[in-house]
Amino acid sequence: MITKFFYYLYHKFLKFFLPLIRIPFPRLIKGEGSILQIKYILKPNYFHPLIICSPSIIKNHLLDSLLEDFKINNIDYSVYSNVKPNPTTSLVYEGRDFFIDNKCDSIISVGGGSAIDLAKIIGLLITNSKENILEYKGLLKVKKKPVFNIAIPTTIGSGSEASVAAVITDEKNNDKFAINDPKLVPDVALLDSNLLANLPKNIIATTGMDALTHSIESLIGRASNKFITKTSLNSIKLIYNNLYNCYQNGDNESCKNMQLASYYAGVSFTRGFVGYVHALSHSLSGEFDIPHGYANAILLPVVLEYYGKSIYNKLSLVSDCLNLTEKDASKKDKTNAVITWIKELNQAMGIPKKFSLNITENEIEKLMSHSLLESNPFYPVPKVLSSEDLGNIYHLVL
């Protein structure tokens, strides 16, 4: 009880302290074909960007128009395309050396959260003196602003183009951790819906649920305020109206709206933080290389049910926003309606209720310890859970 009381005090401090930290918004550029505006963004200050992306971005020709435009306008560039899902610290050092060797002066990060997060950390290593990534783990440890970064999401969920966070995996310890600092917010967030063409259904489903998790966890957290509530609800409503249609049909309008929903979610959780869904998910991703959005999708309804009465007020706002129940329904019924919607959305998009993992009790203990260390007291969750609670949640989904 004493420990929980301390955590709640810490959360109250966060709610008071966080608004005092100036968190910048990226310059937002959106619209079909907006990727061709990059030459105007770079000039006259930057002359040799490093483009950071995954091999699939190159394979699917998503950068062809940009690279052709660069050639026409005599803009030098280098491409680092070794980004992998759940990128590791070794990729950071490799990317940093590539940046230096090619005499780059700026970064264009293209892809999902993996590419954008990797770019953020490469950028901070270029401008900051400490070379060990682990020294930046946690909150407010970045001294100097990273390299100028234009973030271009090609998925609909990470929100990294608007967030203070960058997540990386320490492969030596299978430890997935976050670096959080306002200086990590990209300078420009460019949302070009043309880059979402032919996005695989499983990526639409899992990244879309990632955006939903960001919005809900920041909404229900103890650091939430009027701005976070409004921004989260805007994101959730866009997801409600567009995610399944984007998944089913892949039409440009729905995907464009999902891109904006992901951006709003990034704005929201970067000011209100996330919670136990992310802590539990990071442990699984770090240990078993499970896609982050997929893990979030399975965990989200289970964790929400575990919170119980502590989230009735906030999830009632979601129910009212989406018209899931009558306005005079009880807060419990409204909360259950939201959780039911999430479960049905998962099922409709082929996301299972449980992970197909055959793991031991010792492995669950390790996962539990990592997620507890990440979450308590750092995340301003609506209800503090114990190690036993987190273990029970793992047993429900594994």
DSSP 244-305: HHHHHH--HHHHHHHHHHHHHHHHHHHHH---HHHHHHHHHHHHH---HHHHHHHHHHHHHH
Task: Please check whether the domain covering 2-18+199-397 is classified as CATH 1.20.1090.10.
Answer: yes
Delimit the CATH 1.20.1090.10 region(s) of the chain: 2-18+199-397
pLDDT at 20: 78
pLDDT at 250: 85
pLDDT at 21: 82
- So what's the architecture of 31-196 in CATH? 3-Layer(aba) Sandwich (3.40)
Q: What is the pLDDT of residues 1-50, one digit of tens each?
A: 678 888 888 888 888 887 778 899 999 999 999 999 999 999 899 999 99
Is the pLDDT reported for residue 174 higher than 90?
no
Asked if residues 198 and 250 have their Cβ atoms less than 8 Å apart, the reply is yes
Delimit the CATH 3.40.50.1970 region(s) of the chain: 31-196
Asked if residues 165 and 270 have their Cβ atoms less than 8 Å apart, the reply is yes
pLDDT at 286: 86
pLDDT at 397: 96
